[in-house]
A and B are shown apart, each in its own frame.
Chain A
Amino acid sequence: MTNRVWRWVGGSVALIIAVFVFLVPFAFMVLTAGKTQKEAAALKFSWPTHWAFFDNLVTVLSTRDFLIVRAFVNSTILTVGAVAIMVVLGAMVGYVLQRRRSRWNPLVNFFVLAGLIIPPAVVPTIWVLQGLGLFKTLVGLIAVHVAFGLSFCILLFRAFVAGIPRELDEAAIIDGAGPVKLFFRVVFPLLRSVIITVIVVQAVSVFNDFTFALYFLPGDDNATVQLTTYNYTSQAVSSWNLLFMNVLIITIPPLIMYVFFQRQIVAGMTSGAVKG
């Protein structure tokens, strides 16, 4: 009997509190993004008397020569490029690291761990990028993201490869597959589910990244979406509706990912909770 009461009362209380604490701030943002500038300036938590959602959207999109649209193009290239490289290279390392016992493994494992933990040395990284002629380029930023995202990918891939039977490798080898063919034609396709996990988790983190873009890709010409909010924070502080519309636009893509890939995102981000 207490269980039934708990099931309903506890559940509803948890639900109400969660909605209040976690959703109401977003609701405020959405409502403010739909108001006219004058109404938004009051910063009230209220329903807009006049919906200016679409007008605000157009204004934000067209500000400064469609800066945010260009930023979206940049962020898309950045995310796709960085994640694609990370997945392929990370899978290669995770696979060999799991399959083969060599004296390099402890060193590689240590570096993987260090890559997760050690904060990037920013100014020396800029120095290196400058030496390579990649500072302030999208390619440079992609490379930085790859370097820092690899560790996480390698850990997930290594754990997953452990579950793929070795007999499969052996069968392929007997059939005459070389190492490259074995990996890309036999093993890589089997990694599908973990690849999806890695893709969504890393895509969200690359897309949401602010710090690396701030350091390694400054300037408006090739701004990424996270930097676009600067337009409204620095100058026109009074246009809350536009600022919030901008924030809304850049927040939506990861949330769409969440709707479709909830299971993979959760699996990827909570790995490590269970000891195997």
Chain B
Amino acid sequence: MSTTIATPRRSRTAGAEPQAKPRRRMKSPYPSWFFLPAGVFYVILFLVPTVASFWFSLTRWTLFDVEFIGFENYIRFFQEPPLVQGFVNTFIYAFVTSGAKVVLGLLFGVLLSSQIIGRGFTRSVIFFPVLASTIGVGIMFKVLLDPFDGPVNAGLEAIGLQGPGWWTDPATALLTVAMVDIWKGVGLATLIFIAGMVAIPQEYYEAARVDGAGAGKTFRHITLPLLQPATATVVLLSLIGGLRSFDLIWAITKGGPGFTSDVLASVVYKQYQAGFFGLSTAGNVVLFVVVAAIIFPLSWWLNRKGDQS
């Protein structure tokens, strides 16, 4: 399969096939207008708003009128501490969640593709939070991690530990949400790694064993390099998701306490709610630039690396 962001190119076999040249006077059996209906949705609701956002981000935009003010929104965006904090937090959140999902996903993936009992069941258990409603999970953990009445801290107290303030403490709020995000998303990373591992031919492992390579060496020199496409997928998916993350943060902290767990996406929503449409859109453009500046080069780099191995 040649799919998703990890391998944006057409698969090699498909590209090499002789293409039926459109014969003269005969219409192609693969008409271009098949693009049209999908294109209408895409252009009107994705392309137009995205292009328009660049213009609107340069305006003071309220319910009633639009006034051009140049780069004022952007200047404001990088001067007001709450907004700057949201900008910085976006990176922290995305990198923490993405890194943890790669490491834990790989760990669980290796564990759950070895010959152990209850493997299928354990996989299902790890995966099913992925499908649960994000809002539901957020509310659930908000209660579980309540610093005063929450069962988690009660449990910690029972074994003699003082639980942290979780989402009520400015120092830990963002990381608490990140932790819940990891809890919810690690199952997907695990399954992607397992799918990647299943695709590695067994002969490689047999050859390595014949050559006398131990488990560590086999992992280092066979599993890890051949998992490259899976790793790329996990990194890209979780970074895209992490940078854009909104609903979990909104369900648990609403950006609080204060604005210590705000990210770009929640800033965008708050400014929109407050009626600062121009500023909100500027936040959107910043998010756009951040995502594009990280994901496009990274995806190119990861895929190139994949071609070499």
Q: Contacts A7-B117, A21-B183, A254-B132; is A121 near B53 (CB within 8 Å)?
A: yes
B27 and chain A: residue at smallest CB distance: A179
Are A11 and B135 touching (Cβ within 8 A)? no
Tell me, yes or no, whether B74 is within 8 Å of chain A by CB: no
B32 with A96: CB separation less than 8 A? yes
> Are A273's CB and B126's CB within 8 A?
no
Residues from chain A with a CB closer than 8 A to the CB of B159 are none
Q: How far is the CA of A197 from the CA of B25 in the complex (A)?
A: 38
Asked if A124 is an interface residue, CB under 8 A from chain B, the answer is yes
A15 touches B49 (CB 8 A): no
Is the Cβ of B117 less than 8 Å from the Cβ of A276?
A: no
Given contacts A123-B272, A179-B29, contact A89 B2 (CB under 8 A): no
B141: contacting residue among A25, A98, A148, A273, CB under 8 A: A25
Give residues of chain A (160-217) contacting chain B, Cβ–Cβ below 8 Å.
Answer: 160, 162, 166, 169, 173, 179, 182-183, 204, 208, 210-211, 214-215
Interface centre among B50, B132, B194, B240 (most CB of A within 10 A): B132
- A159–B193 Cα distance when bound, in Å, is 20
The smallest beta-carbon distance between B270 and chain A, in angstroms, is 12
Does A219 belong to the interface (CB within 8 Å)?
no
B117's partner among A8, A104, A210 (CB-CB below 8 A) is A8
Distance in angstroms between the alpha carbons of A198 and B275 in the assembled complex: 37
Interface string of B1-20 (1 = CB under 8 A from A): 11111111011011001011
Interface of chain B residues 145 through 176 with chain A (CB within 8 A): 146, 149-151, 154-155
- Shortest C-beta distance, A178 to chain B (Å), equals 8
The segment from B76-84, B93-101, B107-115, B202-210 found at the interface with A is B107-115
B188 / chain A contacts, CB cutoff of 8 Å:
269-270
Identify whether the interface residues of A are mostly helix, strand, loop, or mixed.
helix
Interface contact A99-B30, CB-CB below 8 Å? yes
Evaluate contact between A43 and B151: CB separation under 8 angstroms: yes
Whether A118 contacts B50 in the complex (CB less than 8 A), given A23-B125, A43-B151, comes out as yes
CB neighbours of B45 from chain A (8 A): 125, 128-129, 143-144, 146-148
Contact A117 B5 (CB under 8 A): yes
| Contact between B41 and A109, CB atoms less than 8 A apart | no
In the complex, the answer to whether B131 meets A204 with C-beta atoms within 8 Å is yes
Interface size bracket, B side: 35 or more
User: Which A residues lie within 8 Å of B269 (CB)?
Assistant: 122, 214-215
Residues of B within 8 A of A257 (CB): 131
Residues in A with CB closer than 8 Å to B2 are 159, 162, 275-276
User: What's the dominant secondary structure at chain B's contact region?
Assistant: helix
- Evaluate whether A121 and B116 lie within 8 angstroms (CB atoms) in the complex, with A18-B125, A93-B34, A147-B44 already known: no
B116 & A7 in contact (Cβ 8 Å cutoff): yes
Q: Kindly state the separation between the CA atoms of A271 and B296 in the bound complex, as whole angstroms.
A: 19
Residue A260 is within 8 A (CB to CB) of chain B in the complex = no
Q: Within the complex, what minimum Cβ distance (angstroms) separates A201 from chain B?
A: 10
Say whether B280 contacts A14, CB under 8 Å: no
Q: A250–B46 Cα gap in the complex (Å)?
A: 28
Give the chain B neighbours of A77 by CB distance below 8 A.
none
B143 at the interface (CB under 8 A from A): yes
User: Contact at A210–B247, with CB atoms within 8 Å?
Assistant: yes
Interface hits, A251-265 → B, CB 8 Å: 251, 254-255, 257-258, 262, 265
CA distance A152 to B4 in the complex (A): 7
The answer to whether A29 and B3 touch across the interface, beta carbons within 8 angstroms, is no
Q: Which residues of A contact B143 (CB under 8 A)?
A: 32, 43, 240, 244
Residues of chain A lying within 8 A (CB to CB) of residue B131:
204, 208, 254-255, 257-258, 265
Q: Hey, which chain B residues are within 8 Å of A96, CB to CB?
A: 30-32, 34-35
B118 interfacial by beta-carbon distance below 8 Å: yes
Q: Is A38 an interface residue (CB 8 A)?
A: no
Quick check: B118 and A12 within 8 Å, CB to CB?
yes
Chain A residue at minimum C-beta to C-beta distance from B120: A262
B135 touches A118 (CB 8 A): no
Let me know if A162 and B14 touch, CB within 8 A.
yes
Residues of B within 8 A of A120 (CB): 46, 49-50
* Docked-complex contact B199 and A229, CB < 8 angstroms: no
Q: Beyond the given A116-B240, A118-B288, could you list 14 further A-B residue pairs with CB under 8 A, ordered by the A residue number?
A: A15-B118, A15-B125, A28-B140, A123-B272, A127-B56, A143-B44, A155-B3, A162-B13, A179-B27, A179-B29, A244-B143, A247-B136, A271-B1, A272-B4
